[in-house]
């Protein structure tokens, strides 16, 4: 399977615990995005990487959230001291950014986080 | 404020029937508009992408239209199938990298 993969698919944690999610993009894609989606809503942009550089962060990304893409390939999203409001689907997408291109984003299956 | 509004919020149709979903946006400047299909518990999958100069684009039984003057788009599904049951999300790309998502229309196709 050469699509975007995310692990784990589901995570249940207690409030106050730290969690980390992983995203493996399509191998030749240089851009990687993280989104959060709550029930009945469209995805909301969190952050974006071009290669290993984190170029954009939404104000939704509080200090408890940190994302990395150390070698420009896979990425991790860590949430510290989780709160019940963090319960959501966390989606990762990747794209091949090229001048004049549509920069189509391909989404992974998501990680569903439940904070008890 | 950049926004994407979709209607209806939900829709139930019989298998074999056609339907049209609507999307209005206020994003400016406009780069492109995408329609995604999202099955329950899965990530969105792209159906069509249209730039400013494109009025219509088809992908099998899915046909998207774009009126950049009125900032409206529609997604028409022909001869619906049970597998079309999903959420359909309109997404607009403006300046920069972020996509602006609508809340989606939930389509249920029944037999």
Nearest to A45 by CA among B104, B92, B38, B88: B92
* Interchain CB distance below 8 Å, B103 and A40: yes
Q: What is the mean pLDDT of residues A78-102?
A: 90
Interface test with B, best of A105, A106, A112 (most B CBs within 10 A): A105
Q: How far apart are CA B89 and CA A37, in angstroms?
A: 12
DSSP-assigned beta bridge partners for residue B37: B45, B88
pLDDT the model gives residue A97: 79
The two most distant CA atoms of chain B are separated, in Å, by: 43
| A86 three-class SS | helix
pLDDT the model gives residue B81: 97
User: How many CA atoms, within 13 angstroms, populate the side-chain half-sphere of residue B77?
Assistant: 27
The pLDDT tens digits for B27-37 are 888 889 999 99
Distances in whole angstroms, Cα of residue B10 to Cα of each of A40, B37, B89: 11, 14, 12
Gyration radius of chain B over CA positions: 13
Alpha helices of chain B — where are they, by DSSP H? none
Q: Nearest residue on chain A to B101, judged by CA atoms? A: A42
Q: Does pLDDT of B49 surpass 60?
A: yes
Interface test with B, best of A38, A43, A99 (most B CBs within 10 A): A43
Q: How far apart are CA B104 and CA B57, in angstroms?
A: 19
A58: chain B residues, CB-CB within 8 Å? 98
Percent of chain B with pLDDT over 90: 80
């Amino acid at each position: 399977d050469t699509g975007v993969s995310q692990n784990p698919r589901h995570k249940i944690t207690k409030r106050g615990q730290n969690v980390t999610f992983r995203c493996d993009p399509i191998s030749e894609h240089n851009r990687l995005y993280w989104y959060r989606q709550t029930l009945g809503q469209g995805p909301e942009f969190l952050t974006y990487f071009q290669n290993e550089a984190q170029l954009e962060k939404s104000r939704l990304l509080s200090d408890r959230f940190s994302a990395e893409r150390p070698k420009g390939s896979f990425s991790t999203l860590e949430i510290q001291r989780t709160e019940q409001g963090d319960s959501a689907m966390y989606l990762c997408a990747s794209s091949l950014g090229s001048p004049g291109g549509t920069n189509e984003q391909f989404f992974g299956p998501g990680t569903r986080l439940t904070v008890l | 404020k950049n926004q994407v509004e979709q209607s209806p919020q939900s829709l139930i149709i019989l298998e074999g029937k056609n339907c049209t979903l609507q999307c209005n946006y206020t994003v400016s400047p406009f780069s492109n508009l995408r329609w995604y299909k999202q099955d329950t518990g899965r990530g969105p999958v792209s159906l069509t992408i249209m730039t400013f100069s494109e009025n219509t684009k088809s992908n099998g039984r899915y046909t998207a239209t774009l009126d950049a003057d009125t900032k409206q788009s529609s997604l028409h599904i022909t001869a619906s199938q049970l597998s079309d049951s999903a959420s359909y999300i309109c997404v607009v790309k403006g300046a920069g990298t972020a996509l602006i998502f609508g809340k989606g229309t939930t389509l249920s196709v029944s037999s």
